[in-house]
Amino acid sequence: MTDKNLSGKNVVIIGGTAGIGLATAVAASELGANVWAAGRTEAHIEKARAVSNGKFEVRQADTHNAEELEAIFKEAGTIDHLVSAAIGGERTIKPFIEQTEEQFKAAYGKLWGYAKVVRVGVPYVAQNGSVTLVSGSPARKITPSTSALSCVGGSVENLVRCLAVELAPIRVNTVSPGTIDTAMFDQFGDERGERLAAMTSGHLIERGGMSEEVAEGLIFVMNNRFVTGTTVDVDGGRILS
């Protein structure tokens, strides 16, 4: 049976101080979980503390720093649900041939960060617990200039399938967002809404998604004890359009 809430569960979210991660931290805490949300940048950490208002713990950690990660895992003790939503790498949006080797490799910082979170964190995860990573619709919806994003996302989704087999009975899943209305669109200033509308005009649901909607997908895979090794798409039908 699927739990109705997360009451008393320990949930650790790396990349939990902004966007989808922060929305998941809020949702889990509202369902009764003890939540640790970790982020790298001070601005995001301060924002998360304001949003938390003492309802969940906010910590500093870089997804590539094993010592910082372990400090949080030790503080949490037994982890029921471990999530990584950290970007972890530099993403270059341009045709593959125009990218340097360094730019393409930099995108894989996300994968290496996820790998570190799993390696360091799994010894703390309960045997009936879960690990959830966040990939992205470019893994299976390929458009020009997104080769780095697509390749990394595909790697994340395949890693999840490998880990689900190796780590069972711990459940391992990924949630794949589409075009989500987050702070990444702030760079467009007054054109923010126009850019978002243009990017989603051909989707089955013609709007950008909300971080809270993606968080619902993460909560689902935490709660449902019969789901493992799968990708849950929360993308407004993007990969079908």
Tokens in use for 67?
Answer: 């010592």
Assign residue 54 a region: left if phi > 0, alpha if psi is -120 to 50, beta otherwise? left
Delimit the domains of the chain by residue range: 10-235
Q: Which of the 8 DSSP states describes residue 209?
A: B
Let me know: does 57 contact 85? Beta carbons within 8 Å. no
Question: 138-149: per-residue pLDDT in tens?
Answer: 999 999 999 999
**The domain defined by 10-235 carries CATH number 3.40.1190.20:** no
Collapsing DSSP states into helix, strand and coil, what is residue 174? strand
Query: Nearest CA to 88 among 66, 113, 68?
Result: 113
Let me know: does 207 contact 180? Beta carbons within 8 Å. no
Q: Return d(Cα 193, Cα 95) in angstroms, integer.
A: 25
Query: Nearest CA to 227 among 158, 178, 170, 157?
Result: 170
pTM for the full model? 0.93
Tokens in use for 3?
Answer: 């739990």
Confidence at residue 199, expressed as pLDDT on a 0 to 100 scale: 83
Question: 111-136: per-residue pLDDT in tens?
Answer: 999 999 999 999 999 999 999 999 99
Per-residue pLDDT of the chain (241 residues; tens, 9 = 90+): 455 689 999 999 999 999 999 999 999 999 999 999 999 999 999 999 999 999 999 999 999 999 999 999 999 999 999 999 998 888 899 999 999 999 999 999 999 999 999 999 999 999 999 999 999 999 999 999 999 999 999 999 999 999 999 999 999 999 999 988 876 666 667 777 788 888 888 899 999 889 999 999 999 999 999 999 999 999 999 999 8
